[in-house]
Amino acid sequence: MTIDQTAVARTASMAAQMASKDGFIAALDQSGGSTPGALKLYGIPETAYHGEAEMFRMMHEMRVRIMTSPAFTGARILGAILFEGTMDGSVGDVPVPTFLWERRGVVPFVKIDKGLEPEQNGVRRLKPMPGLETLLARAAKLGVYGTKMRSVIDHADPGGIAGLVQQQFEVAKIVIAHGLMPIVEPEVSIGSQTKREAETILLEEIKRQLEALPAGQQVMLKLTIPTETDLFLPLTRHPKVQRVVALSGGYSRDEACRLLAENHGMVASFSRALVENLRHGMSDDEFNAALAQDIEQIFQASVVKVA
């Protein structure tokens, strides 16, 4: 095979896994703003490091510990969403995206957003993303399959939600043009007083944007577990949606798994809920056993649904 043919075959294999295999996505994409909290939960206080470089080094060590754990394989985990710095890093001397796919059977994604604008019209839209085209080209060259960008809905404002979803799909089209699969993530805050109403509006706006996508193009969707059970079931069956995944959104892992198991067609893409029982001071045996237990619980909620 030539290099191009190899890349095409790899993408096809990744696409088949993401479209139909049982499992869930691990979100390992904490960035600058959320990293201190993630490290604190892991048992590393802010006093243990000095400066951003040392903070990210410790975060990378945590992620490598997770990715190299025996339970972190394609048997349960479909893909992993990476922070840009993790994508550019390595496990030993192997680039992280290569390690994930070739050594673990896990499809690599990268977080591309640069954070959120202040709330306006009940939503927090994506900040500008300078250098996006360069990042996408680098990700494709590294063997990354797709991307993720998160924006947030706080209130059921129809105009605000419509604009937010439109922005997400505008970025998604740029991602698709680079041969990558976009994960569109319009999160609805679980604490919103109008969560149910916001989700109903969101569903219709996503349908509208999907219909406008050219034939043959697809996106993935990462959505808050809905208040109305199976609200998003139509999206899981839409021909322009490769997969619908659920974010944990601040729920505990037990609560997120309970709710997820009630929603057919949705699989997990958990971040904090995946690692909430992991601690820096654990022995390797303790760490691996805790991670294996958490992975199995999330896997079961993703594939075994209640009536």
pLDDT in tens, 179-216: 999 999 999 999 999 999 999 999 999 999 999 999 99
Q: Among all residues, which ones are annotated catalytic?
A: 185, 222
Report how far apart, in Å, the C-alpha atoms of 267 and of each of 42, 111, 125, 300 are: 25, 19, 25, 10
Helix then strand count (H, E) for the chain reads 13, 11
pLDDT band at 4 (very low <50, low <70, confident <90, very high): confident
Sequence-distant (6+) residues with CB within 8 A of 235 are: 203, 206, 207, 210, 221, 223, 241, 244
| Helix, strand and coil in the chain, % to nearest 5 | 45, 20, 35
Average pLDDT for the chain? 95
Phi-psi region of 25 (alpha: psi -120 to 50; beta: other; left: phi over 0): beta
The residue ranges of DSSP E strands in the chain, in sequence order, are 24-28, 77-82, 90-91, 94-95, 107-111, 123-124, 146-153, 181-188, 219-224, 241-247, 266-270
- State whether CATH 3.20.20.70 applies to domain 27-303: yes
Q: What is the pLDDT of residue 1?
A: 44
Q: What is the pLDDT of residue 5?
A: 87
pLDDT in tens, 128-145: 999 999 999 999 999 999
Amino acid occupying residue 255: E
Residue 147 pLDDT > 50, yes or no? yes
Sequence-distant (6+) residues with CB within 8 A of 244 are: 220, 221, 222, 223, 232, 235, 236, 265, 266, 267
